[in-house]
Amino acid sequence: MIPPQSREVAIALGYRPGEDLAPRVFAQGEGRVAERIRAIARERGIPVHEDATLAELLRHVPLEEEIPPSLYPAVAEVFAFLIRLARGAGMR
């Protein structure tokens, strides 16, 4: 068995313009659930950004809840990364 602090964690964030005030946690899990979240992202062409520290902080946010303001700067960096990837791929 893998000790809890060393298990991989995956968090799926989303933002719905016009509906959300901040990004929300849409899925989260560790171990096999985390693997499945990443697999679904790959299947759907959704980029994955790896940040174990941020994932550990976000795992305490309940599902469907908006992220707390204290995490806005870190999550903004992730969204900026995703925007740069999309622009590099010719997406808008």
The pLDDT value recorded for residue 82 is 84
The pLDDT value recorded for residue 58 is 96
Measured between alpha carbons, how far is 39 from 88 in angstroms, rounded to an integer? 23
The pLDDT value recorded for residue 2 is 43
pTM of the model: 0.80
> What domains sit in the chain, N to C, each tagged with a CATH number?
4-88 (3.40.1690.10)
The pLDDT value recorded for residue 1 is 42
Q: Tell me, what amino acid is at 72?
A: Y
- Neighbouring-strand partners of residue 14: 24
> How do the pLDDT tens digits run along the chain, 92 residues long?
444 555 789 999 999 999 999 999 999 999 999 999 999 999 998 888 889 999 999 999 999 999 999 999 999 999 898 888 888 866 65
Alpha helical stretches, state H, 1-92: 32-43, 52-58, 72-88
Q: Which residues touch 11 (CB under 8 Å, ≥6 apart)?
A: 25, 27, 28, 37, 54, 55, 58, 59
